[in-house]
Structure 1
Amino acid sequence: MAAHQHHLHEGESLKAAARQHLTSRGEQWTDMRAAVFDALSGFNRPASAYDIAEAVSNEQGRRVAANSVYRILDLFVGANLARRVESANAYVANAHPDCLHDCIFLICDSCGQAVHIDDDSLSGGVRKAAESAGFSNQRPVIEVRGTCGDCGDGNS
């Protein structure tokens, strides 16, 4: 497997890396953006904008609209702070925001867990095929649905 190495952040390190990465792009790290990032990074599975809006609303004791969360999530995806799991219309925090690469998600149909892996040979092959078909500036997102090792599928 052609994978690359990078430093994975978690907890306060992840929040600091996200804040630094966003501000280095000329964006502000507002209280609301911090609250959305905290909520997003607190989930152990992909979270919808509604999940995140509910978590932020509960934390702040006031209603936060999903539309506001969607706008912030769009910013986070564009800034590489979050990844969108297309098939679930949900998001995960990017544990290495300083590393830009293609997404390969392994998604468990039983528990909803999404594991993000890097395999440059696979995504490179998809890029090459897209270029051969006349596509440019593509960014592959590959999702594999199945059953994770924790849930097991009885076929071991």
Structure 2
Amino acid sequence: MHAHDHHEHHGSDLTRAAQSTLEKAGEQWTAMRERVFEVLAGFAKPASAYDIAEAVSKIEGRRVAANSVYRILDLFVGANLAHRVESANAYIANAHPDCLHDCIFLVCDSCGQTTHIDDDSITRNVRSAAQGAGFSPVRPVIEVRGKCADCA
């Protein structure tokens, strides 16, 4: 396997890396964006915008609309701070926002656990096949559904 090597950030180091990446992209790191990112990074499984809005609302002591969270999540996906798990309509924080590459998700149909793996040879082949068909790939999304080791 041709895995992509990178440094994974955790905790406050991840938040600082996300802030740095967003600011390098010319965007502001606001208090609400930080709160949404920290909540997203705190989920053990992919979280929906509604899950995040509910958690942020509890922390803030006021209602935060899911539409506002969706806008922030769209920004995060575009800036490589988060990934969207398409089949679950949910998001996970990118543990290495300073590294841009395509991702592969292994999604457990039993418990919902989603594992992110990198294999540049696979994603390179997907991009090449798409280009061979006359298609210009922007963001390949590869999801493999099945059972994780704990549920198998």
Give the alignment's TM-score, normalised by structure 1: 0.95
Aligned residue type for 1:142: I
Give the alignment's TM-score, normalised by structure 2: 0.98
Choose 113-122 or 130-139, whichever is displaced more.
130-139
Q: Give the structure 1 partner of residue 94 of structure 2.
A: 94
The C-alpha deviation readout for 1:28-69, integer Å capped at 9, x for no partner, is 100100010011000000000000000000111110000000
Separation in structure 2 between the aligned mates of residue 124 and residue 20 of structure 1, nearest angstrom: 27
The C-alpha deviation readout for 1:13-36, integer Å capped at 9, x for no partner, is 100000011011111100100010
Separation in structure 2 between the aligned mates of residue 80 and residue 47 of structure 1, nearest angstrom: 16
User: What is the aligned length?
Assistant: 152
Runs of 5+ consecutive residues of structure 1 not aligned to the other structure: none
Q: Give the structure 2 partner of residue 112 of structure 1.
A: 112
Aligned residue type for 1:53: A
Structure 1 runs of 4+ aligned residues shifted over 6 Å read: none
Q: Give the structure 2 partner of residue 149 of structure 1.
A: 149
Please give the secondary structure, in 2, of the residue aligned with 1:150: coil
1:130–1:138 CA contact under 8 A, matched in 2: no
| Cα RMSD for the two superposed structures | 0.7
Please give the secondary structure, in 1, of the residue aligned with 2:136: coil
Q: Give the structure 1 partner of residue 43 of structure 2.
A: 43
Q: Give the structure 1 partner of residue 56 of structure 2.
A: 56
Q: Give the structure 2 partner of residue 122 of structure 1.
A: 122
User: Superposition pairs for residues 21-36 of structure 1, below 5 Å?
Assistant: 21-36=21-36
The C-alpha deviation readout for 1:101-122, integer Å capped at 9, x for no partner, is 1120000111111100001111
Using the TM superposition, give the Cα deviation of residue 137 of structure 1 relative to its aligned residue in structure 2, in angstroms: 4.1
